[in-house]
Amino acid sequence: MKLTSSSDIPKVVPLTCHGHSRPVTHLSFSSTVEEELYYLISACKDNNPMLRDGITGDWIGTFLGHKGAVWQSRLSADAAISATAAADFSAKVWDTYTGECLHTLQHNHIVRSIAFPIQASPQVLATGGAEKKLRIWDLSRGSSGGGSAGSSPPLPPTGGEATSYEIGAGVHGGTIKSIVWNKDYNILTSAAEDRKIRWWDLRSRHPIVEYGVDGAIGSCELNTLATRPNDSGILTVAAGKSVYLFDAMQPGRLLKKADFDYEVASAAVNSDSARLVTGNAGDTWARVYDLNNDEELEVQKGHHGPIWSISFSPDGKLYGTGSEDGTIKLWKACREQYGLWR
């Protein structure tokens, strides 16, 4: 496969998405809902997660109800429901299209991380945070029967309608900062402030692999491309001054470790174009590298604060950056005309 050089991709102005009033903590794209249609959900310290058109960045709606900073937000595999993790000791599940709150999942401390299965069918959710507990929630239970979003009146936002169980009690030695559901439905990955990446088997409820990283974990995300349905994906971890790339199908198998001279706050990978994008805790730039030889190809300038989250679109043709400055920027990552860059 011949890789493109950065000079093949002409410089274009990024799209800037306004609307948040505090630092943006997390970005996540949906899978492709229809041809050239997907969504972007953002978490923010202003308590108000937002839904946008993933290609244009146009605002669609705001999920209203949290009373604390929202640390993470994700969309289900079919984008029908959304979930948010917040500092108000709760996670919330929303109907993506109406904005109604379907479930409020009460915790005893700040909720930092949340994850849906990649598979579309199971109505389950994983949460973690400052409790140091990895919980699995069954959203199909509850007074309304808990069917798919929009199939019944929204549940009142009171805790307790969904049931949960904890896996690996007492194992995490710090706040759980990120959770990833693997392609194998039975395998979950957690990243915690104790500088450990752990792979869990839902059947045994125990960790099967544990990997220590050299520094505080900034981000941990599964990077997959909808254009390659058989692609297992790459688990991308930003920690300390390194980015760790793990095989998403073989728990704990390190594919590559890239080292830098700065604290990496966030990272994302596009396996198709062999591009790695990083955010730096100490400056405001997104840096693009060749994944094969670690050559720096581009420095994307435009934010006015550190970039805390980076995510590629499901087709890999753009990526989003969420910053301390309260804005989201969408950067074109392909040679052909695309989206509003046509």
Q: Kindly tell me if the per-residue pLDDT of 193 is higher than 80.
A: yes
**pLDDT for 122:** 67
Confidence at residue 3, expressed as pLDDT on a 0 to 100 scale: 41
Mean pLDDT across the chain = 89
DSSP codes, 5-51: PGGGS---PPEEE---SS-EEEEEEPPPSBTTB-EEEEEETTS--EE
Give the 3-state secondary structure of residue 113: strand
Which residue did the predictor score with more confidence, 115 or 228?
115
Phi-psi region of 253 (alpha: psi -120 to 50; beta: other; left: phi over 0): beta
Per residue in 247-288, pLDDT tens?
999 999 999 999 999 999 999 999 999 999 999 999 999 999
Whether residue 237 has pLDDT greater than 50: yes
- Local confidence band at 35 (pLDDT 50, 70, 90 cut-offs): confident
Does 63-212 carry CATH code 2.130.10.10?
Answer: yes
- 86 has a pLDDT exceeding 90: yes
Note the pLDDT tens digit of each residue in 117-149.
987 666 899 999 999 999 999 998 653 333 333
143-176 pLDDT per residue, tens: 333 333 333 333 334 444 689 999 999 999 999 9
| Cα distance between residue 173 and residue 327, in whole Å | 33
252: left (phi over 0), alpha (psi -120 to 50) or beta: left
* pLDDT confidence of residue 154: 34
pLDDT tens column, 196-232:
999 999 999 999 999 999 999 999 999 988 777 777 8
What is this structure's pTM?
Answer: 0.90
CB contact at 8 A, 297 and 26? no
Task: In the chain, list all ranges with CATH 2.130.10.10.
Answer: 63-212
Q: Which of 7-21, 215-229, 237-251 has the lowest mean pLDDT?
A: 7-21
The DSSP secondary structure of 273-309, one letter per residue, reads TTEEEEEETTSS-EEEEETTT--EEEEE---SS-EEE
Q: How confident is the model at residue 183 (pLDDT cuts 50, 70, 90)?
A: confident
Q: How far apart are the first and last CA of the chain?
A: 26
Predicted local confidence at residue 198, as pLDDT: 97
Predicted confidence at residue 204, as pLDDT, reads 93
Residue-wise pLDDT tens digits, 290-325: 999 999 999 999 999 999 999 999 999 999 999 999
Evaluate if residue 7 carries a pLDDT over 70.
Answer: no
Identify the pLDDT of residue 82: 96
Q: Which residue has the higher pLDDT, 224 or 66?
A: 66
- What is the mean pLDDT of the segment spanning 64-69? 97
At 266 the three-state DSSP class reads strand
**What is the predicted pLDDT for the residue at 225?**
84
Q: What is the DSSP letter of 204?
A: T
DSSP 8-state secondary structure symbol assigned to residue 80: S
3-class secondary-structure state, position 341: helix
Q: What number is the average pLDDT over the span 229-237? A: 87
Tell me the percentage of the chain whose pLDDT exceeds 90.
80
